[in-house]
Amino acid sequence: MAKLNLLLLAVLVACALGLVTSQHRARKLFSDLERELNRARELDIERGQLQLEASTWGLSQRVERIAASTLGMRAPDPRRVRLVAPSR
Amino acid sequence: MSAASQGLVRFPVWRARLVLATLAAGFALLGARALYLQALETEFLQGKGDARYSRLIEVPATRGRIVDRRGDALAISTPVKSIWAIPGDVTLSAAQHRKLAALLGLDTRELQKRLDESARDFVYLKRQVSPDTADAIGALGLKGIYQHREFRRYYPGGELTAHLVGFTGVDDAGQEGVELAFQSHLAGTPGTRRVLKDRLGHVVEDVESIRSAQDGHDLVLSIDGKLQSLAFGALQAAVDQHRAKAGALIVVDARSGEVLALVNVPSFNPNNRARLTGAQLRNRVITDLFEPGSTLKPFTIAAALESGAATPATVVDTAPGTLTLARHTIRDVHPAGAMSVAQILQKSSNVGAAKLALGLPPESLWRLYHGVGFGQPPQLEFPGAAGGKLRHYRSWRPIEQATMAYGHGISVSLAQLAHAYTVFARDGELVPLTLVKRGVQVGGEKVISPDTARAVRSMLELAVQPGGTGPRARIMGWRVAGKTGTAHKPDHGGYAADKYVSSFVGLAPASAPRLVVAVMIDEPLGQYYGGAVAAPVFAQVMQGALRMLEVAHDAPLEPLAVPGEGEEAKENT
């Protein structure tokens, strides 16, 4: 009888420790998840900001101005442009 | 008595019972208390416990982005920080005070003034500061100074797309333009969730998600950013050159009904709306109406052809260049005697158009105007899209029927006009317009027969040749068809003698139309004929657009002869 009791006690202690560990692990994983989600949100925000920046730098007006003034480019004479139809 | 019995002291039985009873009572009490706490008071206690570690937190949702058909951003929400303080808790050293003021871009006295309003528990020091500034302020670690996240909407297109995209208010709700029209599509709904937090405020466990956050949907517009920029530049230059009050322009893809560019001058910067006037805010393409003048004549002629009353070769006598109806006189700038229907359009003869209209039953004329969309708001997802004025034919008097033939006594928006011209571009079909990318060719509603549409189209092509009213609308490499308009502006019940609306509506390439472009210049000074003011803008935008879309040439690449002074016909409506 006493032996059985001791055995049960040991099982109980083991279960309790197991519960504590798994709970701890769950919380740790959860905080990892939380961190990653935050990072995803921040990256999404950054993507938006980069898109914003790209759109601002890439405004046709600005590109045109730089092409014409800094790079000395100009639109070709239409007679020198040949339209090529893509063959399908 | 034995020794054992001597050692034993006999207690009275009641003492044992008393101990037993006391213990039993103790257990009973514990049991009752447990029952009380666990079963009866549990709600209250659970609430108290939750209040110590369970938190409801809001999950923010972002508003959807608006992008053009190439995927370039036109409107993006990005978080910014707002800095606020609890004045009673703030204790700043002089150095910290100076540093904070510098970071916020505030005067030190101004900052002190805000912090001195200690009667209030909460004061905004500055709203919507950039994330960098907010981080720098956070790094100072000041007591009583807090920040929270807000979203701010940015418009990289600035004034180019201001009227089209519109803008949102501080609460992130659409107030104008597409932002308002697609509010429910773009808006996100913030969610809430219940979490457990530890002593340090870290979330340690997710208990439940009460409502998940729904981010707003992105919206892809039919607008082409490059074309929009080209159109804005051309229109702005023309408005400046002619010292006009305003200008508007719309480019429509005739195959899909998509609006590729929609610009207004004067414009405004949606990122900084501090000094905004009503004139800047007006959307002259969609919500403003004007009397179109001669750009309406092709529809009158289409009605005449459609009814079988005339063919392009039918001759109408317009001599002596005036027509008097009930004390009103209709005049031509170029009195010409007998003219064919094609010549009426080419020279933009008011008398000719009026005579053609008077030869038709009012109902068939009305049916055509109504059929191409005049007098009813276009099915365009835009707030305040105007329908214009087209009176029912039962109330027409002959003079009205005659003036309507050349676009007076009827009002339309520029978008309606461009929309109506798609019937000539699509062999008689009216295609529904849209501001959202479709990307596919769509079917339209049949309004006139293909024969009539083609006949009017070739007449419109004649109108931009030398001898017509709009030779400056021609472009090298593509055939163009279009019509000029020069309308007197309605003023105090009559028409102002010196205020005009110059317009041009046209399509190209004429052999297989792809684009419809409509231009309107409001009150140009000096030159005012549509052929001189609006047609060059049309040519510039159309040429750029066709090149951008890589549309095949249908005309030889030869320099266009500049029309001589006498070669260009002028019109007065």
Question: Touching check for A56 and chain B: CB below 8 Å?
Answer: yes
Confidence at residue B298, expressed as pLDDT on a 0 to 100 scale: 92
Question: Considering the domain boundaries, does residue A56 fall inside one?
Answer: yes
Question: Touching check for B477 and chain A: CB below 8 Å?
Answer: yes
Pairs of CB atoms within 8 A across A/B: 64
Which H or E run contains B489?
strand B481-491
Q: How far is CA B351 from the centre of its chain?
A: 40
Domain boundaries B74-155, corresponding CATH code: 3.90.1310.10
Nearest CB to B229; choose among A54, A60, A81: A60
Q: B479, B511 in Cβ contact below 8 A?
A: yes
Question: Considering the domain boundaries, does residue A53 fall inside one?
Answer: yes
Question: Touching check for A27 and chain B: CB below 8 Å?
Answer: yes
Distance from CA of B559 to the nearest CA of A (A): 9
Candidates A52, A56, A80, partner chain B, best to mutate (most B CBs within 10 A)? A52
Q: Answer yes or no: B413 catalytic.
A: no
Per-residue pLDDT of chain B (573 residues; tens, 9 = 90+): 455 556 678 888 899 999 999 999 999 999 999 999 888 888 888 888 878 778 888 887 888 999 999 888 899 888 888 888 887 777 778 888 888 888 888 888 888 887 776 566 778 888 878 778 888 888 888 878 888 888 888 898 888 899 999 998 877 788 888 999 999 999 888 888 888 877 776 777 777 778 888 888 999 999 999 999 999 999 999 999 999 999 999 999 999 999 999 999 888 888 887 777 777 888 888 888 899 989 999 999 999 998 888 888 888 888 787 888 877 888 887 777 888 888 888 888 888 899 889 888 989 999 999 999 998 888 888 888 888 888 888 888 888 888 888 888 889 999 999 999 999 999 899 999 999 998 777 888 888 999 999 999 999 999 888 888 888 999 988 999 999 998 888 877 778 778 889 999 999 899 999 999 999 999 998 888 888 899 999 999 999 999 888 888 888 877 776 665 556 677 666
Which H or E run contains B248?
strand B246-253
Confidence at residue B566, expressed as pLDDT on a 0 to 100 scale: 55
CB contact under 8 A, A30 and B77: no
Contact residues on chain A for B543, CB-CB shorter than 8 A: 78
Residue B408 DSSP SS3: coil
Contact residues on chain A for B78, CB-CB shorter than 8 A: 45, 48-49, 52
Helices B362-371 and B398-405 cross at an angle (nearest 10°) of 40
CB contact under 8 A, B552 and A83: yes
Residue B141 DSSP SS3: coil
Question: Considering the domain boundaries, does residue A21 fall inside one?
Answer: no
* Rounded-to-integer distance, Cα B240 and Cα B230, Å: 16
Confidence at residue B568, expressed as pLDDT on a 0 to 100 scale: 67
The amino acid that residue B190 corresponds to is P
Confidence at residue B119, expressed as pLDDT on a 0 to 100 scale: 64
Nearest CB to B73; choose among A34, A51, A79: A51
Q: Answer yes or no: CATH 3.90.180.10 is held by domain B225-233+244-270+284-308+372-381+408-548.
A: no
Q: What is the pLDDT of residues A37-70, one digit of tens each?
A: 889 988 988 888 888 888 888 888 888 889 999 9
- Report ipTM (2 d.p.): 0.74
User: Under CATH, to which class is B54-72+158-221 assigned?
Assistant: alpha beta
Question: Touching check for B194 and chain A: CB below 8 Å?
Answer: no
Confidence at residue B1, expressed as pLDDT on a 0 to 100 scale: 47
Confidence at residue B169, expressed as pLDDT on a 0 to 100 scale: 82
Residues 6+ apart with CB under 8 A from B57: B192, B193, B195, B203
CB contact under 8 A, B65 and A56: no
Question: Considering the domain boundaries, does residue A65 fall inside one?
Answer: yes
Number of helical H runs and strand E runs in chain A: 2, 0
Nearest CB to A34; choose among B62, B203, B229: B203
CB contact under 8 A, B226 and A55: no
CB contact under 8 A, B552 and A81: no
Contact residues on chain B for A54, CB-CB shorter than 8 A: 72-73
Question: Strands, E, within B155-201: which ranges?
Answer: 191-197
Please name the residue of chain B whose CA is at the shortest distance from the CA of residue A51: B73
Q: B256, B294, B349, B411: which one is catalytic?
A: B294
How many separate domains does chain A show? 1
Please name the residue of chain A whose CA is at the shortest distance from the CA of residue B64: A48
Question: Considering the domain boundaries, does residue A81 fall inside one?
Answer: no
* Rounded-to-integer distance, Cα B271 and Cα A75, Å: 32
The amino acid that residue B252 corresponds to is V
Candidates B550, B551, B558, B560, partner chain A, best to mutate (most A CBs within 10 A)? B550
Q: B537, B238 in Cβ contact below 8 A?
A: yes
DSSP for B301-341, please give it. HHHHHHHTS--TT-EEE-TTSEEEETTEEEE-SS--SEEEH
Q: Domain span at residue A50?
A: 43-72
Q: Where are the domains of chain B?
A: 54-72+158-221, 74-155, 225-233+244-270+284-308+372-381+408-548
* Rounded-to-integer distance, Cα B515 and Cα B380, Å: 18
CB contact under 8 A, A59 and B547: no
Question: Touching check for A85 and chain B: CB below 8 Å?
Answer: yes
Same fold, B54-72+158-221 and B74-155: yes
Question: Strands, E, within B52-104: which ranges?
Answer: 54-59, 66-67, 73-85
* Rounded-to-integer distance, Cα B415 and Cα A71, Å: 38
Question: Considering the domain boundaries, does residue A58 fall inside one?
Answer: yes
Nearest CB to A52; choose among B73, B547, B553: B73
Confidence at residue A25, expressed as pLDDT on a 0 to 100 scale: 93
* Rounded-to-integer distance, Cα A28 and Cα B480, Å: 70
Question: Touching check for A23 and chain B: CB below 8 Å?
Answer: no
User: Among candidates B118, B121, B126, which has minimal Cα distance to B102?
Assistant: B126
Question: Considering the domain boundaries, does residue A60 fall inside one?
Answer: yes
CB contact under 8 A, A78 and B154: no
Distance from CA of B477 to the nearest CA of A (A): 8
Candidates A37, A38, A60, A66, partner chain B, best to mutate (most B CBs within 10 A)? A60
Cα dihedral B450, B455, B461, B467, rounded to 10, equals: -170
Confidence at residue A82, expressed as pLDDT on a 0 to 100 scale: 75
Q: B302, B448 in Cβ contact below 8 A?
A: yes
Confidence at residue B567, expressed as pLDDT on a 0 to 100 scale: 60
Q: How many CA atoms lie within 13 A of A5 on its CB side?
A: 2
Nearest CB to B78; choose among A30, A48, A59: A48
CB contact under 8 A, B154 and A45: no
Confidence at residue B118, expressed as pLDDT on a 0 to 100 scale: 58
Which ranges in B212-360 belong to alpha helices (H)? 225-241, 278-281, 297-307, 341-347, 350-358
Contact residues on chain A for B225, CB-CB shorter than 8 A: 60
